[in-house]
Amino acid sequence: MNLYYLGPEETFSHRAATRMALPGERPIPCADLREVFRKAAADPQTAAVVPFENSTQGPVTEVMDLLVAHPGLQAVACRAVPVHQHLLSRDLTTPLARILSKAEALAQCRATLARIYPGLPLIPVASTAEAARLAAEDPAAGAVAGETTAKRYGLVLRRPDVQDVSGNTTRFFRLESRRPGDPHGGPADPLPPTHALLYATVEDRPGSLSDLLAPLRGIDLTFIQSRPIPGEKWKYGFFLELLIGASGMPLAAILGALKGIAREVRTLGSYTITTQSSVPDDSGTTALSSLRAMIADIDSGLLRAFAARRRYRLNPGLYAHVTPIAIDELALAFAKGDATEQTRALRRFYLTTVVPYIAAPGEDADPRQALHADTDAIAALARRFRFATRVIARKRVEQAPALRDAARTGDPARVEQALLNAEVEARVLARAQAYAEREGLSPSAARHIAWLYRDYLLPVSRLIQVHVVLS
């Protein structure tokens, strides 16, 4: 079976497609998004992976229009892919004369590149992979691309993380053909859907949009965007993404209420949003000291998410069905499991261990904002744990003799002892407390967050690395 994506290989679309492929599926690159949709729509046994929205640049409007034009395809899964744009070049010494990349990638890095290389021309090309290929031929050209591209094209990492916004992320949809009798697409994602994407058009009269949104009071709109209706000058259709489940109102009831108001309303998909690992397949291009600097940036985002969640109560009724998880089981999921296994394990850990650490007892009158804060904190925590596999890849190079000797024993405790760097961990704990205070937490609350790092987050990160070494 084929899984179509916007090529070529070694782009973020390729990376998302390889992670969202089901067993037996073969990712196939396409020249443009229209070809992706055309091929996926022509054969019900195939699927597609397409970018839908970037957190910095906004929605991919061409994909939105193609979703409307291909009603037989439905979004059945969504993955948020952290986008780390790096500046690559053939060597580290030749002065750069130009920087190449896909237009969207350059837009995500424009301010940073202007600060580092003022006046250097930014030249758009077909893809980040094409930029890397051209840079491999021209030592005066830099390429903005993902780190995994460096190995394929023989490039070096000249400047890491040149994106303007920390946490830059792109959401990708997995599209499948609508199954007979199933109005909401196929069950590609084993997790229950948390979001639904609708498309609606309304009559061209004053107040029609307000009327359309009226039945959605009490339901969180996580995305709303208008797009021109083909062939109808100055008329627009509306894309609405809803957080379903939190309101207690079934999707069928929401659709029924809207159909009485809208000229047209249809479901473009229902799905759960999961976060893909930001760890590349080969992390040897970045030194351990640079990785530790990246961890500091990750911790900054994580402490910001923890501080945001601390504004709300524990709300235990929301998570009464969640069972605790041992930290070794959690570490094993991140060392060897896929994204779905990691998401499930991390959710159990976060809700039963982390939330009681950072949230006061009791319930909020309206828990929806706490649910949003939980989503952000889980994503930040996932990035923290997934980065542990990136660090161990470098440690296996820089600490090879000690790790090799410990691994030969097969004793997890010996491996963990070889990995332990008390001085570095002390700095991490001090940094976590300082970051927490910077986010407005009191000294005692910030110290409590540092204990969470000491008792759980650092041990889990070490155990992830232990499992990787012993595997």
Note the pLDDT tens digit of each residue in 155-165: 887 887 888 88
Alpha-carbon gap, residue 102 to 82, rounded angstroms:
17
Pick the CATH number of 288-470 from 1.10.590.10, 2.120.10.10, 3.90.580.10, 3.20.20.70: 1.10.590.10
The CATH class that applies to domain 86-159 reads alpha beta
Note the pLDDT tens digit of each residue in 418-458: 998 898 899 899 999 998 998 899 999 999 999 999 999 99
Using DSSP bridges, classify how beta strands 221-228 and 122-125 pair: parallel, antiparallel or unpaired: unpaired
**What string of DSSP letters covers 180-209?**
TT-TT----SSSPP-EEEEEEE--SSTTHH
Which parts of 83-194 are beta strand (E)? 86-89, 98-102, 122-125, 141-145, 156-159, 169-177
Q: What is the mean pLDDT of residues 451-467?
A: 95
Domain borders along the chain are 2-82+169-275, 86-159, 288-470
| pLDDT tier for residue 282 given thresholds of 50, 70 and 90 | very low
pLDDT at residue 134 tops 80: yes
pLDDT at residue 186 tops 50: no
Between residues 10 and 443, which one has the greater pLDDT?
Answer: 443
CATH architecture, domain defined by 2-82+169-275: 3-Layer(aba) Sandwich (3.40)
Note the pLDDT tens digit of each residue in 54-98: 888 889 999 999 999 999 999 999 998 888 888 999 887 889 999
| pLDDT tier for residue 397 given thresholds of 50, 70 and 90 | low
The pLDDT of residue 69:
94
pLDDT at residue 248 tops 60: no
> What is residue 313's DSSP assignment?
B
pLDDT at residue 231 tops 80: yes
For the chain, the average pLDDT equals 86
Rg for the chain (alpha carbons), in Å?
Answer: 23
The pLDDT of residue 246:
54
Alpha-carbon gap, residue 150 to 90, rounded angstroms:
9
Q: Give the rounded percent of residues in the chain with a pLDDT score beyond 70.
A: 92
The pLDDT of residue 146:
82
pTM for this one?
A: 0.57
pLDDT at residue 180 tops 50: no
Candidate ranges 34-43, 233-242, 320-329; pick with highest mean pLDDT = 34-43
The pLDDT of residue 454:
95
Q: Is there a common fold for 86-159 and 288-470?
A: no
Which residues are CB-neighbours of 379 under 8 A, at least 6 positions away? 80, 275, 305
**What string of DSSP letters covers 144-160?**
EE-THHHHHHT-EEEES
How would you label 17-41 residue by residue, b for 16+ Cβ within 10 Å and e otherwise? bebbbeeeeebbbbeebeebbbebb
| pLDDT tier for residue 127 given thresholds of 50, 70 and 90 | confident
